[in-house]
Structure 1
Amino acid sequence: DTMFDLAGQAREEISPDLPDYIMNKPSLRIALRKARQKGAKDDFWKEVIKKLDEQ
């Protein structure tokens, strides 16, 4: 994951492993837009990650 993140940062683009996943998940796009509109902070995303880890 780190290498993908570094590649994306170097190109000033999203990490190259994510666009296909994002575009193939309509619910994810909706969630990301809602989070952006609501100003979701890093703590929110940390909770999302925690819930995913618990599954």
Structure 2
Amino acid sequence: MVDRAYSVTEMISAINENRVPLTDISVNIHSFAMITASLESIEKRTEIQLKKN
């Protein structure tokens, strides 16, 4: 719950200060894509190809 509380607090602060939050996904979008593909691979029991940008 502490992580979520930090994320929510940071998001509200960013909105109030008109800035991008520190927890913005754009910083870690490639890591997120790898994790998502990994979970899909486990679920489908097959190799998943990542799309190149």
Report TM bin, short chain. Answer: 0.3 to 0.5
- TM-score under structure 2 length normalisation: 0.33
More helix by share: 1
Higher relative contact order (CA 8 A, sep 6+): 2
Give the greater-gyration-radius structure (CA): 2
